[in-house]
């Protein structure tokens, strides 16, 4: 095992727990991308360039984009329901005033 391979294995062993222990979903998404890139580098170092190419595009582009968009959807949804509640409160207050 060369030093490069050993270093990448260590990086992955640290990266996996880092992804899990990061509690903020946004940071977690970015960390998954970094972890995927390290995994792609390892595949490349282990002489599997075909797998490395798939790994790069899927784990650093496709999956993080999907998670980020899902997070954005959840946030707009929360904003909307928040707005709705405020509107309802305002209107009910208005009724009482009348």
Partner 1 sequence: MSERIRIRLFLAGGAGLAALLAWGLAGLPAFGEFNGACALLINHVVVAQRHATDAVTAVNFDYRALDTLGEEFILFTSVVGLAVLLREQRSERERPPARASEEHRFQGSSYALRALTLMLVGPLVVLALYVDSHGALTPGGGFQGGVLGAAGLLLVFLGGGYLTMRRLSPHALVELAEASGAAGYGLIGFGGLVFAGVFFKNFLGLGTPGELISAGTIPLSSMAVGLEVTGAFVLLWSEFLDQALIVRHR
Question: DSSP letter at 61?
Answer: I
Number of residues that bind partner 1 (CB under 8 A): 19
Cα 63 to Cα 29: distance, rounded to the nearest angstrom: 9
Which range binds partner 1 by CB under 8 A, 12-20, 27-35, 51-59, 86-94?
Answer: 51-59
- Contact between 4 and partner 1 per CB under 8 A: no
Q: Are 36 and 59 in contact (CB under 8 A)?
A: yes
CB of 5 to partner 1, least distance (A): 8
Of 4, 10, 13, 72, which lies in the binding site for partner 1, with binding defined by CB under 8 A? 72
Tokens of 83: 């707005």
């Amino acid at each position: 095992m060369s030093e490069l391979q050993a270093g990448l294995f260590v990086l992955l062993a640290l990266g996996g727990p880092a992804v899990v222990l990061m509690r903020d979903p946004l940071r977690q998404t970015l960390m998954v991308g970094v972890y995927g890139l390290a995994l792609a580098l390892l595949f490349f170092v282990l002489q599997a360039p075909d797998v490395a190419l798939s790994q790069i595009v899927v784990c650093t582009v496709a999956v993080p984009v999907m998670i980020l968009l899902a997070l954005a959807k959840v946030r707009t949804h929360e904003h909307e329901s928040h707005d709705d509640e405020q509107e309802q409160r305002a209107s009910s207050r208005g009724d009482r005033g009348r």
